[in-house]
Copies of this chain bind each other. A is one copy, B any other.
């Protein structure tokens, strides 16, 4: 099956925009009913040590996680900004990758680079749109996991 490029680009644009706008419920809607969401330090992944920083293997688990993050975020008030590079179709049409940088701004209005990494995802077609059924976030920046207060 060939992916529709417009739908592919829109999915990634929506993904970043909805986190940055703190619209987490809409953001959850980008995931398939059966889905997996993981954040793994790139280094661990490449060494075959897939100890995840975040591991959710169902949508219910992901919803719980988001609720917890929202609570934690009260003590780490910041806004996010995702800049996501062009998605790349890997093997077949529904395995895709995209690089990202996330910037955070604190309450004093200072912006810092927070993390970079690679989304390595599997998609599924859902009507005219696409949804994430397996989202693997390979995190370059493994020095900051304790500060994860919003989804990447």
What residues make up the interface of A, taking CB atoms closer than 8 Å to B? 5-6, 9-10, 12-14, 16-17, 20, 41-43, 79, 81-89, 97-101, 103, 105, 108-113, 115-118, 140-144
Contacts and interface: CB of A to CB of B under 8 A. Distances in A.
Given A20-B99, A113-B113, 18 more contacts: A10-B89, A16-B85, A17-B118, A81-B116, A81-B117, A82-B85, A82-B99, A83-B83, A83-B99, A83-B100, A83-B101, A83-B116, A101-B103, A103-B140, A109-B141, A111-B113, A111-B116, A112-B113
Contacts of A111: 113, 115-116, 140-141, 143
9 contacts: A13-B86, A14-B88, A17-B118, A81-B117, A81-B140, A83-B116, A86-B86, A109-B144, A112-B113
Copies of this polypeptide in the complex: 3
B16 A109 contact: no
A108 B108 CA distance: 28
Contacts of A105: 42, 116, 140-141
A10 B99 contact: no
